[in-house]
Chains A and B, each alone.
Chain A
Amino acid sequence: MEIDRNQVESLVKTEGGNLKKGATRKTTGQPINSRQPGDFRQSGDSIKPSGSLFDSSSIEGIIIEGIDIVRTFRMGEVQVRALRGVNVRIARGEFIAIMGPSGSGKTTLLNQLGLLDTPNSGKVIIEGTDTSRMSDSEKGRFRLHNLGYVFQDYALLPELNASENVYISLMMQGKSKTEYETAAAEILTAVGLGDRLQQLPSKMSGGQQQRVSIARALAHSPEVLFADEPCANLDSQTSKEVLELFKKFNQEQGQTIVMVTHEGWHAEYADRIIKLKDGIIQV
């Protein structure tokens, strides 16, 4: 069954008070969870859409579903089929590791699930919302409120200090100065950088920068945290610290994490491994 988003919205409206708490929120562009930044979610705290109104993806506990994702890149005459029909389901609170050889489509898959890219066909459903129907700016708003990213090379904004890097998205959300400054200080303290709030990225080690980037990704309590080889540029000791940080947020706050890695021992931190090869999931 497939239902138009607007239709869903109107259904949600008409059913009003009879719906569960979670169903009253809009389907796009709004924060999925209404809690304050830094007030981290407890495991099992479920905000879920009321099943029957939505398509099959909104099965209890499923936060992201990728259906038949195909992503093809054209490089001149050559077509690169990075993803050839990928189906994934990720449950709320899961810590997933995506593994596979270089060029197997890990980053591409992560970008589709994280709404950084758009598949040629297939769809990504997050929290019951079919994101393939979203416009670019709706996706932007969705990312701002609901998703967090950790990139391999940290991707911090060099002109902003640690605290500013973390709170820029909260500022964009329209939070007050006190709110976002407090939230940034809290989350930076949680990643062990409470004493470096004012430091610029250029004055930090790779491990510290990656922790700032994790803090940035988590500051707005996203539904899902995406991390693309977050430890690729770090030595094993620092990698271990970062992975432990992930594990901590996953276990203590129930943070859903989707992480790409190609190191076996990194994957051991995850609950489940999705293996990719040549753009296809290996079973």
Chain B
Amino acid sequence: MLEKARVSFFLASRSIGRGNKGITIFTVFVLTLIFIQLVLFSSMLAGVTLKFNELMVDFQTGNVVIEPKTEARFIEDASSLQKKIESLPQVVGTSARLKTTGNFRYKEKEMGTTVYGIDPADESFVTDLEDAMISGEFLSRPDRGEVILGREVSGGFGALMESRSLGDVEVGDTVELTIGGVTRQFRVKGIYTTRYFMADASAYLTRADLEAMLGIEDRDFAQEIAVKTTDGTPEYDTRTALLSLGISENIRTWHEFAGILRLIENTLGMIRNIMNAIGLLIAFVIIFVVIYVNIVNKKRQIGVQKAIGIEQNVIVASFVLQAMLYAGAGVILGYAFMRFGLAPYTVSHPVEIPLGTMSLKLDSAEALNRAVLLFLASIVGSVIPAYKLAQRDLLDLIWGK
């Protein structure tokens, strides 16, 4: 068995080493492209997902969100709870928020949206909202009667759902906000965009203003406390630490809010699988054709090998090994190109997408999976023509047309 493998290896290595260099280079090049094709879409999807997640954490949820106890409407004693949480070393900041739905009116247009009441200073420790202002300014603690709007609410600034928005609200304009039957005028202090349309469809007031509208002044209520931890702290650990503080409110990690993102991700994942299947089919056909052409050129050699007693399966194996070596080289080159070329390039030169900027993210497990599939395609693509040819009568192979 080993002796046979040795002969196959020997023939394959000589064929690659001394055979037509052009065919070798071409085959490896094509397989490299196929491998890149197979991992590119996955990398894009991973990049987009990563971006989604970042936006989620950076602009909305922080890492962990504390919510009212089951059946309670509010978190009570929010500021003392905040202090308690902030005592944890891994916590960077907390923001106690009131959250409700309200209806904005500007000129003829109306729009329902989520309205947050925040402490602007606390919020800046948790989210990057302050840096997301594209017009005007972020709120400050003493502000009253001022609001900041996401671009999906204000309209303009490249909003994705312009027609739903209030339409061309600008900083300094006055909008009317109705919450639970209470209507008040607010001056637009700033407009922000996270480029993540869900986060951009909100509005922010100071907590004091929203308390007033909800009629809960000076009660120290909150509807959620967003908690930001130092980079790299696993959410699971944060949750454990919070539980050990004796917090009895609901603790949810940001992942639990990412439902719609999962949906989008799954949809894209299906598209990716279809693309991969097509890619593999193309890979198979190309490998088949390349190996077939290569083998047909060696018909006579195969015949001579058979004549002098080289076993048929040894001959077939030598071609399969050759195809596998080509595939291996293609995988290595393709992986190196993605890993050390394209992916780092998109990190330093991110690609513009509607969500903002995106970098490719190469996942090693996915890459390995694609490599295995490509190997399988190369095996099948070479076994078939090699077997068909090697099986023929040897005189036919040597002297036939």
Contact = CB atoms under 8 A, between A and B. Distances in A.
A172 B314 CA distance: 9
B312 interface: yes
Q: Which of B15, B309, B310 has the most chain A CB atoms inside 10 A of its CB? A: B309
A136 B199 CA distance: 73
B294 to A, nearest CB: 12
A213 to B, nearest CB: 10
A172 B3 contact: yes
B214 interface: no
B315 to A, nearest CB: 10
B283 to A, nearest CB: 26
Contacts of B11: 168
A157 interface: yes
Given A155-B398, A171-B10, A137 B311 contact: yes
A157 B309 contact: no
B307 interface: yes
A172 B309 contact: yes
Main SS class of interface, B: helix
Contacts of A200: 18
A109 to B, nearest CB: 13
A164 B308 contact: no
Contacts of A151: 304, 398
Given A159-B19, A171-B7, A116 B311 contact: no
Interface in A137-181: 137, 140-145, 147, 149, 151, 155-160, 164, 168-169, 171-174
Given A158-B301, A159-B18, A168-B7, A141 B309 contact: yes
A149 B310 contact: no
B151 interface: no
B7 A172 contact: yes
B14 interface: yes
B19 A169 contact: no
B309 A155 contact: no
A111 B306 CA distance: 13
Given A116-B394, A159-B19, A149 B14 contact: no
B310 A164 contact: no
Contacts of B395: 111, 116-117
Interface residues of A, number: 28
A168 B308 contact: yes
Contacts of A141: 309, 311
A128 B310 CA distance: 24
Contacts of B307: 116, 143, 149, 155
A40 to B, nearest CB: 19
Nearest to A217: B308
A168 B4 CA distance: 11
Contact of B305 (A137, A157, A164): A157
Interface string A198-222: 0010000000000000001000000
B6 A171 contact: yes
Interface string B9-48: 0110011011100000000000000000000000000000
Interface in B259-310: 300-301, 304-310
Contacts of B312: 137, 140
Interface in B219-252: none
A33 to B, nearest CB: 15
Contacts of B7: 168, 171-172
Interface string B117-128: 000000000000
A171 B308 CA distance: 12
A185 B30 CA distance: 40
Contacts of B311: 137, 140-141, 172
Given A155-B304, A174-B3, A169 B309 contact: yes
A159 B3 contact: no
A178 B74 CA distance: 86
A257 to B, nearest CB: 17
A69 B309 CA distance: 23
Contacts of B15: 159
B3 to A, nearest CB: 4
Interface in B36-83: none
Nearest to A117: B395
Nearest to B19: A159
Nearest to B314: A172
Contacts of B394: 116
Contacts of A156: 304
20 contacts: A111-B395, A116-B307, A116-B395, A140-B310, A143-B308, A147-B309, A149-B308, A151-B398, A155-B300, A159-B15, A159-B18, A159-B301, A160-B14, A160-B18, A168-B10, A168-B11, A171-B6, A172-B4, A172-B7, A172-B310
Interface of A: 111, 116-117, 137, 140-145, 147, 149, 151, 155-160, 164, 168-169, 171-174, 200, 216
5 nearest CB pairs, A to B: A144-B309, A174-B3, A143-B309, A159-B18, A155-B304
Given A149-B308, A151-B304, A169-B308, 8 more contacts: A140-B306, A140-B310, A141-B311, A144-B309, A157-B301, A164-B10, A168-B11, A169-B309
